[in-house]
Amino acid sequence: MLELVLPKNYIKVLAGVVGMIFEQFNGSGRHVVVEAKVTETAPDDLTVINGIGPTFAKRLQEAGIDSFQKLAAASPAFVKEAAKLADWQADPADWIEEAKTLA
């Protein structure tokens, strides 16, 4: 399933454009109301992954990794940089593999 998440103002712009298109083809001068529903999903709890505590989870979320699916798709180098991991700390490849099982 592909879910497109956009800021709320993009939805309003899109609804306006679609409304203009319908009005153009409608020809009757009546306005067409288009409603768009924005679904906001809560981020996954990344701390269930072995080695990710609250600090690493916060750093990953700040870098845009807020779900198991996004973590599973990330590269180890990006995860290491996003979490600000030192060489002696956890291996991000292990986090990615565990995220794949949870996604």
- Measured CA to CA, the distance from residue 39 to residue 28 in angstroms comes to 33
Kindly list the averaged pLDDT for each block of 10 residues, start to end, along the chain of length 103: 56 65 59 62 90 95 94 95 93 95 90
What was the pLDDT predicted at 3?
Answer: 57
What was the pLDDT predicted at 103?
Answer: 84
What was the pLDDT predicted at 41?
Answer: 75
When computed from its CA atoms, the radius of gyration of the chain, rounded to whole angstroms, is 20
* pTM of structure: 0.60
Encode burial over 41-80: b for 16+ CB neighbours within 10 A, e otherwise. eeebebeebeebeeebbebbbebebbbbebbbebeeebbb
Give the tokens for residue 36: 């768009």
DSSP alpha helices (H): ranges in the chain? 8-26, 54-62, 68-73, 76-83, 92-102
What was the pLDDT predicted at 20?
Answer: 65
Q: Nearest 5°: CA angle at 88, between 78 and 67?
A: 35
Q: Domains of the chain (ranges plus CATH)?
A: 1-40 (no CATH), 46-102 (1.10.150)
What was the pLDDT predicted at 9?
Answer: 60
